[in-house]
Amino acid sequence: MSALPDLFGSVLSLLLPHCCQLNAPNEDYGIVFATTTGTPINPSNHTNRSFKPLLKRAGLPDIRFHDLRHTFASLMMPNVQNPQIVQEMLGHSRISTTLDIYSHLSQDVQEEAVGRFGALFPLGESSTQS
């Protein structure tokens, strides 16, 4: 069983007490972040009114909001033991989707994998038979 639901539940339990202070949440939608009227945030409004100005103030390049998801996944893939962890975090139904999109490993990761494989077959050692 994955620890992700526990993590998300923990984060949600931390956010829910603050949602009333953030905006006027509407229980009918079951959301934490809402507009001032309690409805779900319109993605286009969020991007144009908040995300793009934030990028500009921070001196960052103009990227799509969805690019954050790709950046997260690309940074996670070489740093996890099992790509299924990234699959679960992204919500992909099949591991093949995650691997098809994010399996472009860095040269360092590939060299490390080859080194680990090579360590399985040490050179220069002879086996002694009795």
User: Could you state, in chain order, the average pLDDT of each consecutive group of 10 residues for the chain (130 residues)?
Assistant: 60 68 57 76 90 93 91 85 90 92 71 82 61
Distance CA 6, CA 3 (A): 5
- The tens digit of pLDDT for each residue in 25-57 reads 555 666 767 777 778 889 898 899 989 999 999
Q: Which residue has the tokens 């040269």?
A: 107
pLDDT of residue 5: 57
Distance, in Å, from the CA atom of 87 to the CA atom of 73, rounded to the nearest integer, reads 9
Using CA atoms, how far apart are residues 96 and 84, in angstroms rounded to an integer?
10
pLDDT (0 to 100) of residue 53? 95
Q: What's this model's pTM, rounded to 2 decimal places? A: 0.56
- Give the pLDDT score at 34: 76
The alpha carbon of residue 37 and the mean position of all alpha carbons in its chain are separated, in whole angstroms, by 30
**Using CA atoms, how far apart are residues 74 and 129, in angstroms rounded to an integer?**
48
d(CA 49, CA 43): 10
| Residue 86 contacts residue 98 (beta carbons within 8 Å) | yes
